[in-house]
Amino acid sequence: MSKFTKRLPLAAAISALASTTIAGGFDNSGQPFDIILGTGNEITIMTYSTAVELTGKANSTSNVGGNFNSADVKLDDVAFDYMSLQVGARLAITDSISCAFQTDEPYKTHTKIADESLSYFNGTSGLNSKKDEEHTPIETEVTSNAWTVACGYGLQMGKSRLTFFAGPKFQSIHAIFSSDMMNGVAAATAPGGLGTGENDNISYDMGTSYEAGYVAGVGYEIKDIALKIGVFYHSPIDYTIKGTVTGGAGIQALQNRVATDTVKADLTTPASWNLTLQTGIWPKWLVFGNLHLSNWSDLGSLNVTSKTNSSGTGDNDYDVDLGLFSNDTLDYRFGVGHQVTDKLVMAASYASTVKLGDEDLPDGVDSDSLRQPRGDSYTLSLGGRYSLSDNFSLSAGLGYTNLDKTTVDNGSFRVVFDESEAWTYALGLTMAF
């Protein structure tokens, strides 16, 4: 069975399409560092492409924006398609010691609500009716990159092998977001067109920050029965991100703010645990599974402070507390793999997510963040790996994700996102040397 087990693990990984698809992005944080548990020298390259469509309707649930918000506001094309790349390499230094490198994108999101759709602006008082969220969201984009290096030591114990590994993880993160003071109806009440277009918008660019954490874990393998167990831990990574904010002409005139200012925020990407398991159940057949726990509630909000602070009256600074994640997540997936021929391995899997610790949300509400809507979903995946030679193989995978109807309520607006779907395509190659 050793020839079979040499080919199957990557096919299983492709089938699972390891990242968790969410509305407008994916969570690939804390994924298994499987490459460190293999033997021999290897290079792998994987590309992923996901297409998603997200629409919904919003209505005011409190007296924000005066009478400027209609009962239902249609929100179209809220989520963007995205692509990602993962590259890994393993070098066997001795029979017991190996080192591996992997670069990937742990987390990416990009959502946008059309400009002048919603309004927190009270036309009677001329003030923002919800200061803590800095008007209504327009665009939110977060990108990240990680570079992980780890070395492992394997203990051969008869027919089984126990491997311990650890190493540093370097990670960058870049965030931009923008907000809108008033919608088109409210803008008509502002003098001189100060509420139209980008005049009433605020744009934050938090720049790119680099910090380091670590990854550690243990793996156990019995090749004769295709048994592999891996436990992986990714540490939290703390950042102080700094950037600039720009306010439009309307923001400056109507709310007495400076044109530009410097801003900063403390941010922690969460710790995560990952458990992987595969085992043979019949000649040329095996089952596999994965559990992935992420402490996303540690990033419940992003408190951005500006250099120019309010003197205690008015609303002339750019401080903002953005609501992000309201709960931790437990992602799970399980599947089956089959060696079809000497050259072809196929696998299929099912994946979903359990939200943990969201008891503060009202019944029937999935999230309190308009920037990061995350409801229930499941993913069906099919993948395969074809060996062109003993040292070179090609891989491909297809994943279908059903994004369930999602209700977001931040206390001022309730947005119901329609049930939607996403398709993910994966292509890759593996070369042994």
Give residue-wise pLDDT tens across range 319-340: 888 777 767 888 899 999 999 9
Decide: helix, strand or coil at residue 193: helix
Mean pLDDT of 220-227: 91
Q: How confident is the model at residue 27 (pLDDT cuts 50, 70, 90)?
A: low
Give residue-wise pLDDT tens across range 341-396: 999 999 999 999 887 775 567 777 877 777 877 778 899 999 998 999 989 999 99
Residues sharing a CB contact under 8 Å with residue 55, sequence separation 6 or more, in sequence order? 74, 75, 76, 77, 78, 417, 418, 420
Residue 366 to residue 378: CA distance in whole angstroms: 15
**Which residue type is seen at 214?**
Y
pLDDT at 13: 42
- Of residues 180 and 11, more confidently modeled: 180
Q: How confident is the model at residue 98 (pLDDT cuts 50, 70, 90)?
A: very high
Mean of all residue pLDDT scores within the chain: 81
CA-based torsion, 207, 211, 217, 223: positive or negative: positive
CATH number for the domain spanning 341: value is 2.40.160.60
131 has a pLDDT exceeding 50: no
- Of residues 229 and 186, more confidently modeled: 229
Residues sharing a CB contact under 8 Å with residue 192, sequence separation 6 or more, in sequence order? 253
Number of domains in the chain: 1
Element of type H or E holding 253:
helix 249-255
Give residue-wise pLDDT tens across range 266-296: 988 889 899 999 999 999 899 999 899 888 7
72 has a pLDDT exceeding 70: yes
Q: How confident is the model at residue 64 (pLDDT cuts 50, 70, 90)?
A: low
Give residue-wise pLDDT tens across range 197-210: 888 889 999 999 99
pLDDT at 123: 47
**Contact between 24 and 405 (Cβ < 8 Å):** no
For residue 269, CA distances in Å to 56, 98, 140, 297, 413 come to 29, 28, 17, 10, 27
Domain that holds residue 395: 2-432
